[in-house]
Amino acid sequence: MSLDFGPAVGLSCRECGARYPLGPSFACQECFGPLEAAYEFGAVTRAAIESGPANIWRYRSLLPVPADVADKPNMNPGWTKLVRAGNLGRALGIRSLHVKDDSGNPTHSFKDRVVAMAVEAARNFGFHTLSCSSTGNLAGAVTAAAARAGLEACVFIPANLEQAKIAMARVFGGRLIGIEGTYDDVNRFCSELIGDPLGDKWGFTNINLRPYYAEGSKTLAYEIAEQLGWRLPEQIIVPIASGSQLTKIDKGFKELVALGLVEDTPYKIFGAQAAGCSPVSTAYKAGHDVVQPVRPDTIAKSLAIGNPADGPYVLDIARRTGGGVEDVTDDEIVAAIKLLASTEGVFAETAGGVTVGVLKKLTETGQLDPGAETVVLNTGDGLKTLDAISGDARPTAVIRPSLDAFRATV
């Protein structure tokens, strides 16, 4: 089989550094550490990137994809808005604030970025079915991308997900299987399915295709830097589910520096969790290097991973960059969703409520520098998590159709 992963030349263990050929592998045979894509980058210039398409494929020379990736049937996510959030900044006392709003992706979450990488890997390996374990957004992104790419889809979710996310995952076709239990139960089931004949020729985006899939999160780092005028933000707040998004944003920033595309300036990365699923935040505050699993209980279901695979790496990055990890309650999440909507016209799902809520908390507690250029991520559309604000699903007032009635109300 001839494989074409562009500049990616192999897989490397993040723990021991062992190297492996490109393949559908995700764990080191020496130490069982996670594998990630290793590269030999050629010359990359700002001009070459800027001349590319207005999606993630403008960065194809930095990703594990073939050079002709933009010509293939794909969802073409990315190049979402970086909103200058002056109103929210003034409300919180932050001098320069931006919201990276990834709700503008094809299935309205950042998951379209990572799934696009997985589709190309599945094509390379000759897989016929795209699958995943999901807290909701990934399921929709996988079924949509599979439909576009001409692949079969079978995805697995906790049975109690938000109805909007279930409906979105089903509308694109394929099979949607609800599992009784938490996301961690679903993920364990999928890991077992990989070793069964039933899962032969299946590409599980976040398991056996994970080294390629996870690289899609780097495109958030690339876009933010380019949209800021080819510079790194001084502070960034990133939601934590598995923790992979945060670690790959850090990797993306470091690659831009190493390639000379941006100046090597310091940046702080802050992780954001819901209090009802905050194993990384708990470990950070306690000064621990080990993340103890928890059973999730939060409205932020897209972040409800009780045993985050990249948790220890998140701790390392938060400490190395001088950032941190914080959490907020469900009430604070809802308040933050409303604050972002009422100040910037951006309707975030609960994960966005977590990042904005943590932004507010970090500012109030003095953990975040209000004078530094700051970026906060919104990773999904609020229409997916309407249950979180269902108490507001009514008019401000109901009146007779007359000016006198309106005057009385006003």
Taking phi over 0 as left and psi of -120 to 50 as alpha, with beta for the rest, 230 belongs to left
Give CA separation, 389 vs 28, 329, 336, in Å: 43, 15, 11
Per-residue pLDDT of the chain (410 residues; tens, 9 = 90+): 689 999 999 999 999 999 999 999 999 999 999 999 999 999 999 999 999 999 999 999 999 999 999 999 999 999 999 999 999 999 999 999 999 999 999 999 999 999 999 999 999 999 999 999 998 899 999 999 999 999 999 999 999 888 889 999 999 999 999 999 999 999 999 999 988 898 899 999 999 999 999 999 999 999 999 999 999 999 999 999 999 999 999 999 999 999 999 999 999 999 999 999 999 999 999 999 999 999 999 999 999 999 999 999 999 999 999 999 999 999 999 999 999 999 999 999 999 999 999 999 999 999 999 999 999 999 999 999 998 988 877 888 898 999 999 999 98
Give CA separation, 225 vs 272, 342, 355, in Å: 21, 27, 19
The structure tokens listed for 58 are: 């403008």
Nearest to 236 by CA among 113, 103, 343, 377: 377
Task: Fill in the amino acid letter for 223.
Answer: E
DSSP letters spanning 81-139? EEEE-HHHHHHHT-SEEEEEEGGGSTTSBTHHHHHHHHHHHHHHHT--EEEEE-SSHHH
The structure tokens listed for 359 are: 């932004």
* Cα gap 136→103, rounded to integer Å: 14
Nearest to 383 by CA among 171, 80, 108: 108
Do 353 and 298 touch, CB atoms closer than 8 A?
Answer: no
For 274, the enclosing helix (H) or strand (E) is strand 268-274
* Cα gap 332→228, rounded to integer Å: 29
Task: Fill in the amino acid letter for 162.
Answer: E
Do 271 and 281 touch, CB atoms closer than 8 A?
Answer: yes
The structure tokens listed for 199 are: 């899962």
Note the pLDDT tens digit of each residue in 53-108: 999 999 999 999 999 999 999 999 999 999 999 999 999 999 999 999 999 999 99
How many residues does this entry show for the chain? Answer: 410
**What domains does the chain contain, in order, with CATH numbers?**
82-108+216-388 (3.40.50.1100)
- Specify the pLDDT at position 1: 60
* Cα gap 278→240, rounded to integer Å: 9
% of the chain with per-residue pLDDT over 70:
100
Note the pLDDT tens digit of each residue in 244-303: 999 999 999 999 999 999 999 999 999 999 999 999 999 999 999 999 999 999 999 999
